Amino acid sequence: MTTIEQDVQTLRIAKTETIAAAPDVVWESLLHHMGPGTEFEPGRTMKMTFEAFPGGRWFRDLGDGAGHLWGHVQVIKPGKVLEMCGP
């Protein structure tokens, strides 16, 4: 009989940031910066799209059918929770 043992490891990273703004303003700003407001240098957008619903995609459209998938929305509770998974 063969026994296979496997160690399971989890890495959890959390960052807490205090922002001097109303929660709804912060939420809308977050969605904007994940989508059309994403810039790689001032005035040049990365053409990101963020679909704010469960199963929605977060991706970069390079045109001509090319692009990058950055993640999928797992959980979204507007103004409170955004959980995503992706490569």
Q: Where are the beta strands (DSSP E) in 9-65?
A: 39-41, 44-45, 48-50, 57-63
**Cβ atoms within 10 A of the Cβ of 19, count?**
10
pLDDT tens for 8-46 read 778 888 888 898 999 899 999 999 989 888 888 888 888
pLDDT of residue 59: 95
pLDDT at 10: 80
Two structure tokens written together for 20 = 């001097």
d(Cα 61, Cα 68) in Å, to the nearest integer? 7
Which of the four pLDDT bands, split at 50, 70 and 90, describes residue 1? low
> Distance between CA 58 and CA 86 in Å, rounded?
9
The pLDDT score that the predictor gives to residue 45 is 83
